Amino acid sequence: MSTPAGSSHDVHLLDYVRVLYKRRWTATTVFLIVLLGTAVYTFTATPIYEARTRLLIESDDPHIVSFKEVIDKGPAESDYYQTQYKILQSRTLARDTLDALHLWNNPLFGDPPAGWFSQLRSLAGHDTGQAATAASDEAGAQSLALDRFLERLTIAPVRNSRLVDVQFRLREPALAAAVANGVAKAYIERDLAYKFTASKDASNWLGDRLAEQRTLVEKAELTLQQYREQHEAISLEDRQNIVVQKLADLNAAVTKAKTERLQKEAVYRQLDAAGTDGALLDTFPAILGNAFIQTQKSELAALQRQQAQLSERLGDRHPDMVKLKSAIQKTEAALRTEVAKVVAGVRTEYEAALAQEQSLSAALEQQKRESLAMNRKGIEYSVLEREVESSRQIYQSLMQRAKETSVTGELKSSNVRVVDRAEVPLRPVSPRPLVSLVLALFGATFLAIGLVFFFEYLDNRIKTPEEVEARLGLPAIGLIPALGKNWRHVEPLLSNGVPPDFSEAFKVLRTNVLFSAAEQGCRVVVVTSSGPGEGKTIVASNLAIGVAYTGQRVLLVDGDLRRPRVHQVFAFDQEPGLSNALVGDAKASDAVHRTDVPGLCVLTAGRVPPNAAELLGSRRFKELLASIRGQFDWVVIDSPPVMAVTDPNILASLSDSVVFVIGAEMTSYQIARRAVEQLERGRAVFAGGVLNRVQIKRHSYYYSQHYRREYADYYATAERS
């Protein structure tokens, strides 16, 4: 039971109980139908017995030809078991079982014409048309028997094991056990027959392939020998190894020579770039490491210091100065000569390294050409040699498989074993009265409850005051109980001696309406509903009577100028009335009728006009309503339904408040909500909503929080006292 959006009512467990109580007959009917139907079936159905044979099926690998590099059979184990389960359920295996147990003529599987097999033999010499008809009958009877057989057969693998149960259900327990064991026996025999046939076929196939492969081996060996003789390739492999080794050595030597040449070339290029720059030449390692050059540099430095010291005391032409100058020149010349020798030595080393590299590179290229030539000879040789080896291996493998297959063909073993043979079942598996009734009890309960709440979910009618407040946004100011069938011939007015609970409900409504009008002066109240048949006229009439009982002057106006009914309720003439007063055919005072209720007057509708909406919206109606306000304390207007015409919008705009009547379990909240929205667009002021014709006695528990049975007794006692 869902709570509408915006509702302040929290869903309680009692709300669900009320729904169940309200639809108790639906729930009871569904519950009894399911429970009784199951009980009838359980105690009238033929007992069915189930026999079970348990088999152990090991994974099967025939190992006829096993090239693991070509075929990977690892993940195929699950497929193998699924295949075996389907074989156990195959029509071929069922046919073998029926043949072995002679069950073709058993009425449990089929009832073909008596002696059909012998008839087929006798018809061998008759015409083709009769033979074809007999064969068709035979096929149809066998197909029917196989279908019935397979319907009763169940293959149930045992989880996480290699066990499988062969289950067969039948009304004869001994025959069920015989059939379950027969299926297992036929399956094992067919498995052995398949393996024997497969081994025989494999042996024949392997013999043919072995002969062909022997010829291929001989041919490949002959071709290889001829190639050796033509190209002298007896020691080809050794020669090829030598060439390859020499090529590797030369390659290493070339790499080393190239590295040395690059190092010496770098040094030479640096010396060559330095030229005669003494400062740069002095920084090279070859010069720094030369002892003679360093000695000459030291002597030259000493002579230069001595010259500098003597130049302070002696002139340039002094013999000592001349001698020192000559010694310095000789030392510098010797130094330059030695540096030139070092540079020439570096150049010589570079040129020697370059020549060595070129020589080795040429030898390497020559060796490469020799290696390529040797490879060209070895390629064809290797191809022929591999072909001989491959053919020989295949031949040996086929020979081995042929021997294994020959032995396997003579060994009749199966990878299927019977773990438990079927025994004659002592108790039937169907029907099981206790289990069936317990399941039926729970199933019927859940189905009944589910249907109840499903119907309640589909039921969008307004049923409770809470739904009036939640769905329509109106305060619930009244809950009017429905009257019994005895009131169909008398109008249910408060002045006609209605039941106490009915009378008290209108007193509650009157009180709520009176308290909703706090202002002084005449109050105009419009009573309307979404559609016809919701009891708005009776509500308006009793509301007017109830207010009149308080000693106030009340006028009940029949504002429904299309289908008026107030004159029928109070047994007055329809004319003159409101329409007559509005068009000027009669005075308003003549159209007002006094009732037996003190203080209550009634203004009937009058003649039904063709333009009711125009009359109610006219200036004369407003003037008439203004004059009425000066003569009465309360004016109650019975309005047409909102969804039918526009008259209620006009009347609501001229009134002080609107009482909206909703027929309980009659009006959907969508229609009622649209009616309320339509009145709100006309700026209507709502006093509240009244839930009318509530079946309190039929749904007493459903409305218990609003109206209890002892309340009626209390009202009746109060009236008697």
pLDDT digits (tens, 9 = 90+) for 194-208: 877 877 777 777 777
Q: Domain locations in the chain?
A: 13-45+431-458, 236-410, 465-720
SS3 content of the chain, % helix, strand, coil (to 5): 60, 10, 30
Mean pLDDT calculated for residue range 42-52: 86
Measure the CA angle with vertex 605, ends 600 and 609; round to 5°.
Answer: 165
Measuring CA to CA, which residue among 308, 389, 415 is closest to residue 57? 415
Measuring CA to CA, which residue among 209, 228, 230, 211 is closest to residue 385? 228
Are 351 and 267 a contacting pair, CB within 8 Å?
no
**pLDDT over 90, % of the chain:** 12
CA 392 to chain centre: 58
Are 703 and 697 a contacting pair, CB within 8 Å?
no
Mean pLDDT calculated for residue range 602-624: 87
pLDDT value at 581 more than 60: yes
Instruction: Fill in the DSSP letter of residue 702.
Output: T
Report helix, strand or coil for 282.
coil
Q: How far apart are CA 55 and CA 422, in angstroms?
A: 11
Are 513 and 659 a contacting pair, CB within 8 Å?
yes
Residues 470-515 have pLDDT tens digits of: 888 889 888 888 886 666 667 788 888 788 888 888 888 888 888 8
Amino acid sitting at position 93: L
Measuring CA to CA, which residue among 698, 662, 659 is closest to residue 480? 662
How much is the pLDDT for 719?
A: 47
How much is the pLDDT for 116?
A: 40
Other Cβ atoms less than 10 A from the Cβ of 264: the count is 19
φ/ψ (deg, to 5) at 517: -115, 85
pTM of the model: 0.50
Structure tokens at 488: 């169909």
Residues 196-245 have pLDDT tens digits of: 787 777 777 777 777 787 788 778 778 777 776 776 555 555 555 666 77
pLDDT value at 62 more than 80: no
Are 657 and 543 a contacting pair, CB within 8 Å?
no
pLDDT value at 550 more than 50: yes
Residues 582-593 have pLDDT tens digits of: 888 888 788 888
Residues 337-373 have pLDDT tens digits of: 777 777 777 777 777 777 777 777 887 777 677 667 6
Of 129-143, 291-305, 448-462, 603-617, the one with minimum mean pLDDT is 129-143
pLDDT value at 50 more than 50: yes
Q: Is 387 exposed, middle or buried (0-12, 13-18, 19+ CB in 10 A)?
A: middle
How much is the pLDDT for 421?
A: 92
Architecture of the 465-720 domain: 3-Layer(aba) Sandwich (3.40)
Structure tokens at 569: 């309720």
Are 612 and 562 a contacting pair, CB within 8 Å?
yes
Preceding amide of 285 cis, omega within 30: no
Confidence of residue 602 (pLDDT cuts 50, 70, 90): very high
Mean pLDDT calculated for residue range 92-105: 89
Q: Is 525 exposed, middle or buried (0-12, 13-18, 19+ CB in 10 A)?
A: buried
